Amino acid sequence: MKTPQMIRDSRVPLLLLLTGVCINGYKPVIIVHGLFDGPKEFKTMFRFINKVHPGTEVKVIDLYDNLSSLEPMWVQVQGFSKAFDDIVQKAPDGVHLLCFSQGGLICRALLSMAPDHKVHTFISLSSPQAGQYGNTEYLKRVLPDFVKKTVFRICYNRVGQKLSICDYWNDPHHRSRYLQSNSFLALLNGDRPHGKMKAWRENFLRIKNLVLIGGPDDGVITPWQSSHFGFYDSNETIVEMGNQEFYRNDTFGLKTLNARGDVSMCLHSGVKHVQWHSNYTVFSSCIEKWLT
């Protein structure tokens, strides 16, 4: 004789199969790539996830790859949002979002603008969340005739803002020009107050966890603390997340999220920028536990 409990148990898988829901129980993972890369760079991450959580649906959004990743941030946010919505619609139990480098800012914008995003954990993998200011290989590739001291000249105007890296270029020595001309990060962080801040904060706060991953040997994100929401002051001294004005004023919800106990920081030395998504130590210590 079957007990009622057993009858229910035996029916569950069938019911789930019929409704097309994954029976392995892992939420789908949506991945947004960074500057100059694309789905190809996330094959290892795909393997890692499916090794520990077999059957997980992992979707690397194939948009704005390689050189197209220089398109304006708001344009990319629109494109990624559409692809994101299509995936989320088929995931009644929600999803996780893992976003690398520049992709971390695209994801945060997407989360701020989506009233019903169903994202549980948002993993920001070495993203310049508080902006970027440094002489790096990437800068040389995009603007070979400029160094960090002069980039503000090309970035802080309407034409410059059509280049993704200018949208989060944060020159601590030209703060007023940043506040005036930046059309992306200054709005996303509420550095320049605007009418949608409250709605964006509420949307963003619908995530259950924020995981910030980064470290001192990154070599691209500058200062590397930007991956943990720290940034330079006008003397190029690091001001940690908790002392940032956007944090103290809770302009986009970070303080509330942290007070809720839902911000998790992960720091690793010895990891270069392009290794974050392919390093198993990083995966097992900072990422794995969130993807259930």
- Helices 102-113, 73-89: axis angle to 10 degrees equals 60
Contact window for ligand NAG (CB under 6 A) among 53-61, 97-105, 127-135, 265-273: 265-273
φ and ψ of 155, to 5 deg = -80, -40
Using CB atoms, what's the residue nearest to ligand NAG?
270
Binding status of residue 149 toward ligand NAG by CB under 6 A: no
Rounded Cα distance, 123 and 209, in Å: 8
CA distance 116 to 135: 38
Residue from 135, 281, 284, 292 in contact with ligand NAG (CB under 6 A): 281
Q: If binding is defined by CB under 6 A, does position 27 make contact with ligand NAG? A: no
Q: Which residue has the tokens 């004023």?
A: 249
Residues that contact ligand NAG, how many (by CB under 6 A): 23
Which residues, including other chains, have CB under 8 Å from residue 190's CB and lie 6 or more apart? 197, 246, 249, 251, 252
Q: How far is the CB of 274 from ligand NAG (least distance, A)?
A: 9
226 binds ligand NAG (CB under 6 A): no
Minimal distance, residue 234 CB to ligand NAG, in Å = 5
The encoded tokens of residue 38 equal 């694309």
CA 57 to CA 252: how far, in whole Å?
30
Query: Is 240 a binder of ligand NAG (CB under 6 A)?
Result: no
The single residue among 233, 242, 260, 284 that binds ligand NAG, judged by CB under 6 A, is 233
* Angstrom distance (rounded) from CA 49 to CA 288: 7
- Interface positions with ligand NAG (CB under 6 A): 38, 40, 65-66, 190-191, 193, 233-235, 237, 245-246, 249, 251, 268-271, 275, 279, 281-282
